[in-house]
Structure 1
Amino acid sequence: MSYSSLSPLTGPNPTPDPDDENAVQNNYSSAIGALILSLVFLLGVPGNLFIVWSILARIRQRSVTTLLILNLACADGFLMALSIFFIIYLAMRTWIFGNAMCKILFYLCNSNMYASIFLITLMSVHRFLAVVFPHTLYRLITRKVVRRVILGTWVLVMVISIPSLVFRDVKKETDEMNRTTYLCAPNHTLRKHVRFQYAFETVAGFIIPYAIIITSYVVILKRLRETKFQRNVRNEKLILTIVITFGLFWLPYHVINMVQVCEEVSTFHVQTDMVYIRAVTSTLAFISSCANPVLYTFAGKSYIKKNGFAFMAKLFEGTLSDQTGTKSTRLTTYDNVRESNVDCQNPTVASTPENGNLE
């Protein structure tokens, strides 16, 4: 994603548009944008840092899902830290950080979009393997494999975000009062560049990942119904909530992306103010990076009174724990998945506390 709208809340535009400059220079829109980003910064940075601390300091045995949540929190927390640059941009209504920072910051924002959805997709695929192929997962999922997959994901993210480096530059603008402002804005010179960048980021960053996620959960829910092992449903809820929340925040942005692509390939034009529509959709997309700490807090509220600041670690241990094999280097499937296979043969086994019943 280009997060172009945060420059300042105007959205990615294929050609220079006077409305872009108006959004920067408008006191009202800039003030609202700066206020929203300030709230996002104050909530997102400490919230994601708390997740990272909870996992690193409080959890000794980290499951696959916990490792993925750790990486997701690092990505979101880093993006929230970058929001300070956009707050300054909106407050001053001119870009003061130079052309290199213009490219780098939007490149990092774009990388965050891909990293978030890819890590969420990996969570869903892991749950699919754990529920549908538990014995295969037991043999294949080692710490070395997990680290390589996560590292490969980050490398892929950095590569496919390169268009945001290419299609972004600082523009100099002079208004009728002879005042000079600098904008960090899209620099598409050809219509095909618009089609490529926004179609690619929507297909690679939303459509394909969500097709995988939806397919995984359809199979998971079907398998859970077949085994009639209801405790598994509890373990799906948190990940499924993350998936749905991310989709709700990002869907409007990608819809506008595809509308713009359609405008570039046809005579179709939307008779509305795209600048402010993009302002809303891109703000929602940015807010998504501070949503997960809130979700985890609500999910773990039953642990807060008893465990205090350790409630988040207790949440991850209680609903996302993997059973460790005899070798310390192995990450295996969840307790409840193993139990669900035993349950069909011996229903009493899964209900005993010794077998990991958390309820």
Structure 2
Amino acid sequence: MAQSNISPFINESSNLTTNESVVNTNTGTTMGALILSLVFLLGFPGNIFIIWSVLARAKKYSVTTLLILNLAIADGSLMALTPFFIIYLVLKKWVFGEAMCKILFYLCLVNMYASIQMIMLMSVYRLVAVLWPRRVTLITSRKTVLWVLAVLWVLVMVASVPAMIFRKVKPEGNTRVCESVHVKDSHVVLQYMLEIVLGFLIPYLVIVVSYICILRRIRQTKFRRRIRSEKLILAIVVTFCLFWLPYNIINMVQVTWALYPKGQVKDILNLIWHKSRAVTSSIAFISSCANPVLYFFAGKSYIRREGLAFMARLFEGTGLDSATRKSRQNSQNSREKDKDADAVMLKDKDPDSVTNSNSNTKPVKNGN
């Protein structure tokens, strides 16, 4: 059964029609519009403030700072799109035309992919910094990181093309809606399996493996202060997972619906994803406004002495990552090894390393 020509039917147990648009569910659209409104009011100015803090207040750009900047750009761009979706849910019809239907949902998917990929890169970088601190500067030069970020943005733009291909404005009763229109069930599977695999399964497999290794290494060290920065990144990871999990579950339901043979189970699956799509999509947007809140609580100790620059100092403090702290652990075993580690770190232009290797008091200040 193709999504473009769903035949009307009635679920005998609930007497609910399932040929309606995802924006024709009163409860779902009302909740979705409310969630998106709150998300926009909190998330848009929050991410703009993060971008301004990094660009205007950060003294130098560490790897962590660059990743957080790109994450804020992706999240802020996603927040900028929310007014269009709020209007769509409130009016329950698409009023922006065919081109905007394709462009807005394409940009939405691009920034969703970019957000999770940035978080994945953060986790991989922390893993390298923890396990191989002496080698981290060789593979995380600013030029290398910028190239990686450029390639990542290109890849997510390419991966989001199906959203532009399948999204169309179509008549639905007396109104018009912007939905994915699939001629074949295989198109449904292609679009949503791509989102599940590239936007959830692969990134979170990498993230989970990275943090298992990171936390195991942290437990082996006596330097408990290093856990602070790891907790911040871990909180970002968990937050993203919690808010995007319902959306990906509904994707799985829709894929199962497309693959399932005709029958009552297929009808029930169709009902589930129709009724849940608007709400789960709105919940997914919450992750993009949650990061500024996490940064605020993590950096509140900087506010009194740094003022509006507290966010930039937080990112620089977070940038005092495991590479430099690992060198302190090694110094307990051998002074000569400690000197070698410091020599390597001093060559790195990353402020994470320079500040920590020059003084024993600076890491404590920035990591406070």
> Normalising TM by the smaller chain, what interval?
0.7 to 0.9
Task: Indicate conservation of the 8 Å contact 1:249/1:288, yes or no.
Answer: yes
Q: Secondary structure at the match of 1:183?
A: strand
1:203 to 187, 197, 200: 197
Kindly tell me: are residues 25 and 217 of structure 1, through their superposed partners in 2, closer, same or farther at Cα, counting changes over 3 Å? closer
Aligned residue for 2:325? 336
Aligned equivalent of 1:73:
72
User: 2:209 is matched with which residue: 210, 215, 220?
Assistant: 215
Note if contact 1:231-1:336 (Cα within 8 Å) is conserved in structure 2: no
Q: What is the deviation of 1:26?
A: 5.7
1:94 Cα offset (Å): 1.9
The answer to whether residue 364 in structure 2 is matched with residue 357 in structure 1 is: yes
Q: Does 1:170 align with 2:169?
A: yes
The within-5 A match list for 1:23-102 is: 24-25=23-24, 29-102=28-101
Are 1:259 and 2:237 counterparts?
A: no
Matches within 5 A, 1:6-17: 14-15=3-4
Paired with 1:341 and 1:20, the residues of 2 have a C-alpha distance of: 64
The SS at the match of 1:169 is strand
Alpha-carbon distance, 1:54 to partner:
0.8
Report what 1:328 is aligned to: none
Match of 1:6 in 2: none
Unmatched segments (≥5 aa) in structure 1: 1-12, 175-179, 323-332
| Distance apart, 1:91 and its partner CA | 2.9
SS in 2 for 1:94: coil
Give the partner amino acid of 2:280.
T
AA matched with 1:313: A
Indicate the larger mover: 184-193 or 32-41.
32-41
Give, in angstroms, the shift of residue 259 of structure 1.
2.2
Judged with a 3 Å threshold, the aligned counterparts in structure 2 of structure 1 residues 258 and 120 are, in CA distance, closer, same or farther, namely same
TM-aligned CA deviation for residue 247 of structure 1? 0.4
The answer to whether the 8 A contact 1:227-1:344 is kept is no
Cα 1:95/1:339, change in 2 over 3 Å = same
Q: Shift in Å at residue 311 of structure 1?
A: 1.9
Which deviates more from structure 2 when the two are superposed, residues 266-275 or residues 234-243? 266-275
State how far apart, in whole Å, the 1-side matches of 2:316 and 2:153 are: 25
Cα 1:103–1:273, aligned 2, differ >3 Å: closer, same or farther? same
CA contact (8 A) 2:105 2:164 kept: yes
Note if 1:313 corresponds to 2:307: no
The amino acid that maps onto 2:50 is I
Report percent identity of matched pairs.
Answer: 54
- The 2-side partners of 1:298 and 1:357 are apart by 18
Change (3 A) 1:84 1:194: same
Q: Deviations over 1:223-253 (max 9, x none)?
A: 2223333222112011000000000111111
Which segments of 5 or more consecutive residues in structure 2 lack a partner in the other structure?
7-16, 340-355
Decide which structure has greater helix share: 2
Which amino acid letter does the alignment assign opposite residue 207 of structure 1?
L
Identify the residue that residue 286 of structure 1 maps to in structure 2: 285
**Aligned mates of 2:290, 2:248 — CA distance in 1:** 19
CA distance in 1, matches of 2:43, 2:194: 28
Shift of the 150–23 alpha-carbon distance from structure 1 to 2, 3 Å rule, reads: closer
Deviation at residue 25 of structure 1 after TM alignment: 4.6
Alignment match, 1:177: none
Residues 1:159 and 2:158 aligned together: yes
Offset at 1:111? 0.6
**Moved beyond 6 Å, runs of 4+:** 348-352
User: CA, structure 1 residues 208+30, in 2 after alignment: closer, same or farther (shift >3 Å)?
Assistant: closer
C-alpha separation in 2, matches of 1:118 and 1:20: 35
Counterpart position of 1:276: 275
Separation (CA, whole Å) in 2 of partners of 1:273 and 1:259? 8
Q: What per-residue deviation string (whole Å, max 9, x for no partner) do you get for residues 293-323 of structure 1?
A: 111111112222333322212211222246x
* Equivalence for 1:8: none
Residue matched to 1:234: 228
In structure 2, the residue corresponding to 1:227 is in which secondary structure? Answer: coil
RMSD (Å), alpha carbons: 2.6
Aligned to 2:347: none
Q: TM-score normalised to the size of structure 2? A: 0.83
1:141 alignment partner in structure 2? 140
Q: 1:16 to 1:183 in 2, by over 3 A?
A: farther
Number of equivalenced pairs = 332
Note if contact 1:80-1:289 (Cα within 8 Å) is conserved in structure 2.
Answer: yes
Deviation at 1:23, TM superposition (A): 5.0
Do the aligned partners of residues 64 and 23 (structure 1) sit closer, same or farther apart at CA in structure 2, a change above 3 Å counting? same
TM-score by length of 1: 0.85
Task: Return the letter of the residue paired with 1:229.
Answer: F
d(CA) in 1 for partners of 2:331, 2:165: 54
Equivalent residues of 2:317, 2:363 under 8 A apart? no
Answer whether contact 1:14 1:188 (CA < 8 A) is retained: yes
Distance of 1:26 and 1:196 partners within structure 2: 26
